[in-house]
Amino acid sequence: MKQKLLLLSVLVLFVFIPTKTYAFTHIDDINNGISVFFLVDLNASDTIEINVTHTGSGNFELFLFDARPVDSYVKIDNTLNPEIYNQAINYSTGDNPYINYTVTSLQIYYIQLVLLDNGPDTFFLYCNYDLVRYYLPTIPGYNMEFILLTLAATLMIFLIFRKKLTKSIMYK
């Protein structure tokens, strides 16, 4: 009887012990200068909590944006463009980056994790919301003016050769 009462007490005690549960966990191994992006759709007054730990001695930085980033802000020498600190609504630069932020409006928010040096390193990203991996295109798009100019030049050359070809056929 005492064993059953003790077991019941321990089980009830487990209900009241606070535990930290996350809705999303991502594990990846990245090299120096590499950024990893995620996005999440949040409602106004939602609080997002992002925690990053790692196995090695990598220098990670974590950023939260309220607008879609179009650049990784990582320079060739694996340093950050200072503009990233103006664009991000919240960031963390500690040994294990951590963000706890309450959003103000309903929209899509973007998360960027950067390994600056001491890599490669394996990181563990935990978040209380489900995140979607976002890939920032690394190949710049074609310039529209260049495409139109090339198309016009090709069309002109085609018309000139066609006109010459029809004249040469007519005189034969």
Each as own residue / partner, the long-range contacts of residues 3-6 (CB below 8 Å, 24 or more positions apart, any chain) are none
pLDDT band at 159 (very low <50, low <70, confident <90, very high): confident
Q: What is the mean pLDDT of residues 144-170?
A: 81
Query: What one-letter code names the amino acid at 49?
Result: E
Residue 10 has pLDDT above 80, yes or no: no
What's the pLDDT tens digit per position in 24-42?
Answer: 899 999 999 899 999 999 9
For residue 63, the model assigns a pLDDT of 96
For residue 141, the model assigns a pLDDT of 61
Nearest to 89 by CA among 60, 112, 70: 112
Given the candidates 1.10.287.3510, 1.10.260.40, 2.60.120.380, 2.40.50.100, the CATH classification of the domain at 21-141 is 2.60.120.380
Residue 166 has pLDDT above 80, yes or no: no
Higher pLDDT, 66 or 163: 66
pLDDT band at 134 (very low <50, low <70, confident <90, very high): confident
84-118 core/surface letters (b: 16 or more CB in 10 A; e: else)? beebbebbbeeeebebebebeeeeebbbbbbbbee
For residue 135, the model assigns a pLDDT of 83
For residue 138, the model assigns a pLDDT of 56
What's the pLDDT tens digit per position in 49-83?
Answer: 999 999 988 999 999 999 988 888 998 888 999 99
Residue 139 has pLDDT above 80, yes or no: no
What's the pLDDT tens digit per position in 94-118?
Answer: 889 999 999 999 999 999 999 998 8
Determine if the pTM surpasses 0.85: no
Nearest to 34 by CA among 109, 121, 106, 96: 121
